[in-house]
Amino acid sequence: MRCLACPFRDGENEEATKLQNLGCLPSAFDMIEMFDEENISLSCHDNESIPCRGLSSVRGTQHSLLKTYTDWYHGR
């Protein structure tokens, strides 16, 4: 199960939509683009030791580099 606020759930529930509107998380498109261009998976913001489960549901993330949500957020 993906986390409640996953960018891949934007529009499915209030929490995900609220965080997307606040700009706290990258969009699903941004995450896919980063993966396709740089082979980088952004971590789940609830568990930074694993790739985002939403991204993993649309891309094979097992051999990609893992960038933590914290590093992404503070590095923008």
Q: What is the pLDDT of residue 1?
A: 53
| In the chain, where the domains are located | 26-75
pLDDT at 2 > cutoff 80: no
For the chain, where are the E strands, in sequence order?
40-42, 65-67
Are the C-beta atoms of residues 8 and 58 closer than 8 Å to each other? Answer: yes
Distance (Å, rounded) from C-alpha 72 to C-alpha 24?
11
14-66 pLDDT per residue, tens: 888 888 888 778 899 999 999 999 999 999 878 889 999 999 999 999 999 99
Q: pLDDT-derived band of residue 12, with 50, 70 and 90 as boundaries?
A: confident
